[in-house]
A and B are shown apart, each in its own frame.
Chain A
């Protein structure tokens, strides 16, 4: 397998992992009963969203 194909496969897997963590963070945000945790989940969401949208 050439390096470009290999990189593409890793990239797709990476975005899958990114989506998994984003879903987990959003779920945690809605599930938590602690206001401080909710704010923390919110801060954590930003880079994952930007990455999913391929903006950063």
Chain B
């Protein structure tokens, strides 16, 4: 075959494949997620308003503030710590889109690590986006990775040394937001992000924080609330109430290890007056033994390989042919916060936080979470924001 012809065809193929791949990567990185803030919204700040260390960066996230104007406590709800755990940011968004606060304040960050939501995990063939059906159409979000995008934070060190504890962690954990609390203003992107969040917690005098997560069923910290020691009573009572009255699969309660550093449930409690909680729920797509990794698995939580592992008692959470659908995962997170607030109000009436407008667990399971997400094209412009 003529060499010149081969070279021209090769160059054309290179241009075409680079163009297609580039367009897909760019589309994922630049997609903006619309948020229709609830009627009770008081103001929207940026994380950079609390610390210049993160201002103007991709992680300069929206901070949605719902202030009742009535003295009480304050809670910070954090979504999107690990962007490959979509129930976390959608749960936060259920609050952002429906919340009305009648006492105290609620502060929500839907996407605390936006950078991580702009790429997916290398070699895992994750879908780039996921969708939720709503009565008005389909709502779309970026599917992300566990760690920040290397385009925003690179290179990783040989060994990541956590600040301020000096604990050694794996190199890629320097981009893992939940190994970087309490952060520092002159560190890498995730350290600067958590530092700004700590400044927010201190400035807004938050009483408690909730960090939403999902976990593979092979992981022992599953379907549970992990709490700082100052939150033991509230977490234990929340766990008992949810297990006995609401959830079909029990939710446990675990103590935050005092010697494991960088995690929100440890460091927020240690470095501020807030009591820190972290909620985990089962997500079969994160399991190493899963089958085809697509949006169907992400949203339905059904996988026959994970089920088979369950039959052999190799998992820390039950799974059957119904799987762990996203609606159920999100409903559990939202209801966990609602119950946590109920218990907090009972034990700390002087710092009560009263909220309305949030759907119940049964409503979210019956109608689907999409029924509680609003149409950005039909909403007043002043209430539509982008994460």
Contact = CB atoms under 8 A, between A and B. Distances in A.
Categorize the interface residue count of chain A.
20 to 34
Given A3-B187, A4-B186, A56-B25, A42 B10 contact: yes
Contacts of A56: 21-22, 25, 119, 151
B3 to A, nearest CB: 6
B3 A46 contact: no
B1 interface: yes
B154 interface: yes
Contact of B18 (A2, A3, A7, A46): A46
A45 B14 contact: yes
B26 interface: yes
Interface of chain A, helix or strand or loop or mixed? Answer: helix
Given A39-B6, A42-B10, A50 B188 contact: no
B257 interface: no
Looking at A41, A45, A56, the one whose CB has the most chain B CB atoms below 10 A away is A56
Contact of B155 (A10, A30, A53, A55): A10
Given A3-B187, A3-B188, A39 B18 contact: no
Interface string B19-57: 001100110010000000000000000000000000000
Interface in A1-32: 2-4, 7, 10-11, 14, 29-30
Contact of A7 (B17, B29, B119, B154): B154
Nearest to B11: A42
A27 to B, nearest CB: 13
B18 A49 contact: yes
20 contacts: A3-B186, A7-B188, A10-B155, A11-B155, A14-B154, A14-B155, A29-B7, A30-B7, A38-B6, A39-B10, A42-B11, A42-B14, A49-B18, A50-B21, A50-B22, A53-B22, A54-B151, A55-B21, A55-B25, A56-B25
Interface of A: 2-4, 7, 10-11, 14, 29-30, 33, 35, 38-39, 41-43, 45-46, 49-50, 53-56
